[in-house]
Amino acid sequence: MYTIFGQSRFQHGAPPTPDLRVFALFQRRLPFALKACYKERRIRGRASKLPCCRHGCCRRTVARGRAAAGEFIMKFLGIQNCEAEDFGLFQDYLPDLGVAFDIFRAYEGDDPPPHKYYDAVLVGGAPASVNDMGNYPFLGAEEHYVHSVLKAGKSCLGICLGGQLLAKALGAEVRDCNKKEIGVVELDLTPAGKASPLLEGFPSRFPVFQWHGETFDVPPSGVLLARGYDCANQMFRHGSAVGVQFHLEINPEQAGYWSEVYAGELRDFGKTPEQVLSEIRAVETRLGDLARRFLSNFIHWARIQRTV
């Protein structure tokens, strides 16, 4: 199941459930929905509107059908930290891998749903800094929420800003990079990364998409799993927490959208949207394969963490 909700669509004290009336309406309007998705793919729909293809709406009917049949083995929560950055390929792949996926839009200021209803939590990116929570008050509440998730022993995956938030919550410093990264770069697995079940099936060197100007230190007692050239710390594990600085979930459509939304930052960096799109199109298939592989590994790892 794939759901987007805020305070208005979640009743505390009871787990989120599909609205069957909305589901029936969606089924009847499916041909129109598919047509609208194609024409309006750049419109970022809110919870009350039909979302665009980046939100996986074309897959929602199938996912809910699978949920009704009891085929989902786990349920994850995704915390989205800005409108422009959703979970991309991850939110498309999770239902196929047997995981129901709810998205909570933290930037809207509502309280997150109780994590007791979820097996793992994903924390997404945003053009914000965990060192500037005065301007982003929802991040402070989110850090406390992440603390409670980890205290409960549940798996938590932080992506980009989400990884930095995890690192800060675990006592590590978040600071400016020696050099900002935008576009496709290659990373190397560390010896610990090569032995980690989270990266099983990964080559020693692999491409990722980057868009960040800050980086995290590895938390005390944490393990570095992947490193880069301009920005060394790219992935860590600490207990049930996994932080990544990079993006595997991105596709060319999303990269193009970010190039529009963050046009000034891209211009200051010295790249054009055409360069960004050329880079990601060259590795699109590999990124998709790695994204699915990583999610499969993370799901298996989260199931093990749940029983520890």
Quickly state the pLDDT bin for 4 (edges 50, 70, 90).
Answer: low
Q: Is 143 a catalytic residue?
A: no
Beta-carbon neighbour count of residue 197 at 10 Å? 11
Q: Please tell me the distance from the alpha carbon of residue 169 to that of residue 180, in angstroms, as a whole number.
A: 23
Q: Considering the candidates 85, 142, 214, 249, report the single residue annotated as catalytic.
A: 249
Dump pLDDT digits (tens) for 237-268.
999 999 999 999 999 999 999 999 999 999 99
pTM, to two decimals: 0.80
Element (H, E) at 243: strand 241-244
Dump pLDDT digits (tens) for 114-161.
999 999 999 999 999 999 988 899 999 999 999 999 999 999 999 999
Quickly state the pLDDT bin for 305 (edges 50, 70, 90).
Answer: confident
Q: Considering the candidates 160, 181, 212, 214, report the single residue annotated as catalytic.
A: 160
The class that CATH gives domain 2-307 is alpha beta
Q: Please tell me the distance from the alpha carbon of residue 179 to that of residue 183, in angstroms, as a whole number.
A: 13
- Tokens at 16, concatenated: 């989120």
Domain locations in the chain as residue ranges: 2-307
Q: Is 115 a catalytic residue?
A: no
Q: Is 300 a catalytic residue?
A: no
Mean pLDDT of 103-112: 94
Dump pLDDT digits (tens) for 282-291.
999 999 999 9
Dump pLDDT digits (tens) for 11-35.
334 444 443 333 333 333 333 333 3
DSSP character string of 244-280: ESSBSS--HHHHHHHHHHTHHHHHHHT--HHHHHHHH
